[in-house]
């Protein structure tokens, strides 16, 4: 059985009136169990030679609906002005922007595609899905 643990730490000395330090850890389990997620796409990198508009990055057809998957996406560039827009589903609902060095880690039910749009040429991102099969 695979055991995967995700950790996030947020800290700031001047965001609030007191120093901020938040840390959270979670073990990634299959839905409704204490069995670890045991499937992974591998860490992939993709370079987009041209600017993209609503390009499918992660296809929902590759994953079972209503499972307990996780998605990691990172803009590996360094630009402070160019970004990837992360979008969900055929309506391309915008989740947010990833500028150079920004990343996300989200739960993913596998019911909608995850698409991206980009603002420039030769932009690169890395991504991975940690998932379960039905």
DSSP per position, 28-94? -B-TTSSSBP-EE---EEEEESS--SSEEEE-GGGS-TT--EEEEEEE----SS-EEEEEETTTTEE
Residue ranges in the chain modelled with pLDDT below 70: 1
Check residue 33 and give its pLDDT.
Answer: 92
State CA 57 to chain mean position distance: 10
Domains in the chain with CATH codes? 37-131 (2.60.120.10)
pTM for the full predicted model: 0.92
Check residue 64 and give its pLDDT.
Answer: 82
Check residue 66 and give its pLDDT.
Answer: 74
Helix (H, G, I), strand (E, B) or coil at 106: strand
Check residue 40 and give its pLDDT.
Answer: 94
Check residue 1 and give its pLDDT.
Answer: 66
Closest CA to 33 of 113, 106, 133, 112: 133
């Amino acid at each position: 059985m695979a055991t995967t643990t995700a950790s996030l730490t947020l800290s700031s000395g001047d965001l609030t009136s007191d120093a901020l330090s938040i840390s959270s850890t979670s073990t990634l389990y299959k839905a409704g169990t204490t069995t670890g997620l045991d499937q992974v796409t591998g860490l992939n990198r993709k370079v987009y030679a041209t600017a993209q508009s609503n390009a499918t990055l992660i296809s929902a057809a590759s994953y079972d609906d209503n499972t307990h998957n996780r998605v990691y996406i990172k803009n590996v560039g360094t630009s402070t002005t160019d970004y990837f827009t992360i979008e969900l589903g055929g309506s391309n609902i915008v989740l947010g922007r990833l500028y150079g060095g920004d990343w996300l880690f989200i739960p993913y039910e596998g019911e909608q595609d995850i698409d991206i749009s980009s603002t420039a040429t030769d932009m690169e991102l890395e991504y991975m899905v940690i998932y379960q099969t039905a």
